[in-house]
Structures are given as structure tokens and as C-alpha cells.
Amino acid sequence: MASLAGKVAVVTGASSGIGWAVARELAAHGWRVGLVARREEPLRRLATEIAAKGGAAVPAAADVADRGQVEAAVAAVRQALGPIDLMVANAGVGKATRLDPVNVADVEVQFRVNVLGVVYAFAAVQGEMLARRSGHLVAVSSIAGFRGLPGESAYCASKAAVNVYLDGLRAQLHGTGVRVTTICPGFVKTPMTADNTFHMPGLMTPEYAARKIVTAIRRGKKVYAFPWTLAALTKFSRWLPDRLVQRVMGAYDTDTDQPPAP
């Protein structure tokens, strides 16, 4: 990682959870980090913390669902720190999918943030990376994208869309010098999972997840899903009868607006 010290990374969703921890981990390895999220105050606190440890970080408030705001935030980071070498599109939201009435507004928000937020973040840096024939595009997706789960149709579908988008992008960018990595974590202890009352197998701290993610970035992984046991079980569940999936998973979202998925 030392050879990458001094390069510039942008992390979206850096105001808490995985994004906060990934930004800290990158800074600890010498990256200069652009911090992007809607809430500016936590970003400033994180930038101060990184600076106190000898690092460099620039907060740039933006809603990733708004392309103009994303472009402006990335431009501010670029002006302060230099060309972007790494984009970590991490920002995400989750809401349970209701049956009657269908909470269409929540579904729309999840797709705007979870899918278009990735597209906008990548679009803000792809041009410069292609021109330099160097760069790394990373999206934090989820094991939940491996199959649809009851009560989580929209969340799982949005993460599946990210996975497939990056698959195609990775093939399209082959030979350009721009790498693409899909990160699919399992359950991480974040504000998104804080209200879950059920057992979350393999629950990780954001710090642990961040170390795994940064290692995968360093190694240039194409797709990195962890923990592998949960990833394998989720993939296997696609072949299970719907009645069994409903029996095991159907009660997860009954009384909460937070998704139980990773």
C-alpha cells in the first residue's frame, strides 16, 4: 500500500458507517481523501481527525442522488487534492418493501441513491481516468444483491443492478488501464442495521469491513464478497423453494422500515 501513498481517493457516504471507516483506513495508508456525503458536519469532523494524524482530507457535501451536486463535490476535491485516482461509491440507503400500499417513494429513493449514485460518482471521474489510462472505480454493493428476499425487493434489486452494471463496465474498460471492483459485504454494524432485532450472521464492525475492503482494492479484486460463507449461502438460496425462503426470511421486515439485508 505504501506505493499508493499520496494518491487521491474519493469516498461517498463518508459521514458514517462503512464510508467513514474506509476513508479512515485509506488515509491511514497515506491516501489523500475526498469525503462526500449529505451531512457536512460529520465530514468536517472526520477531516479534522484525519488531519490530526498527519493525513489530508477534504469534506465536500453532496447528495449522491443529484448528479450536479456529485460533479461539484468531485470538482472541489480535485481542485484541493489533485486528479482522482480512486472512486469508492459507497453511499446507500435501504427501506423495507411494503405490499399494500406499496411504498413507491421509498423504492424510488433506493434506486436513485444505490444505483444512480454509483453511476454519477463514476461519471464524475471516468473521463480523467480514461485520459490518463489509470484509475480505479469501486462500488460498495451487498450480498443482498445475489438474490431477492421477501420484504426487501427494492433493496436487493438495487444492489443487483449495481453488480450487473459493474460487470458490464469492467468488461468495457478492459485494456484501458481503469480497473473496476465490486464489493459485496454481509452484515455490518452501521446506522442502517442498528434497528434490526433479528440475528445477523457474521455481523462485522465497520473497521473490520473497511480493512477487508481496502485490501480487496489494493489487490485489484474484480468482485469481493465477504464473509464467504454468507455469500455462498445466499447464492445457494436462489434454488430453494419460495415457501422455504418465505418461512426463513419472511418475518424479517414485518415491523421495521430498515432493511435486514447487509
Who has greater pLDDT, 64 or 186?
64
- What mean pLDDT do residues 126-147 have? 96
- What mean pLDDT do residues 35-43 have? 97
Q: Could you tell me which of 180, 183, 169 has the C-alpha nearest to residue 135?
A: 180
Contacts (Cβ under 8 Å, ≥6 apart) of 162: 114, 115, 118, 139, 141, 145, 182
Start-to-end Cα distance in the chain: 27
Average pLDDT, the chain: 88
Q: Could you tell me which of 1, 2, 4 has the C-alpha nearest to residue 135?
A: 4
pLDDT tens string 170-205: 999 999 999 999 999 987 776 665 555 554 555 689
Rounded-to-integer distance, Cα 17 and Cα 38, Å: 14
**Domain ranges in the chain?**
2-249
- What mean pLDDT do residues 62-73 have? 98
pLDDT band at 130 (very low <50, low <70, confident <90, very high): very high
Rounded-to-integer distance, Cα 136 and Cα 89, Å: 11
Q: Report the pLDDT value the prediction gives residue 1, as an integer from 0 to 100.
A: 43
Report the predicted TM-score, pTM, of the whole model to 2 decimal places: 0.88
Q: Are 149 and 245 in contact (CB under 8 A)?
A: yes
Q: Report the pLDDT value the prediction gives residue 195, as an integer from 0 to 100.
A: 59
Any idea which residues carry the catalytic annotation?
Answer: 155
* Statement: residue 123 has pLDDT above 70: yes
CA atoms within 13 A on the CB side of 187: 18
Q: Report the pLDDT value the prediction gives residue 237, as an integer from 0 to 100.
A: 62
pLDDT band at 79 (very low <50, low <70, confident <90, very high): very high
pLDDT tens string 206-262: 999 999 999 999 999 999 999 877 777 777 666 667 766 666 665 554 444 443 333
Say if domain 2-249 classifies as CATH 2.160.10.10. no
* % the chain with pLDDT above 90: 72
Rounded-to-integer distance, Cα 180 and Cα 220, Å: 8
- What mean pLDDT do residues 97-115 have? 96
Q: Report the pLDDT value the prediction gives residue 192, as an integer from 0 to 100.
A: 62
Rounded-to-integer distance, Cα 72 and Cα 61, Å: 9
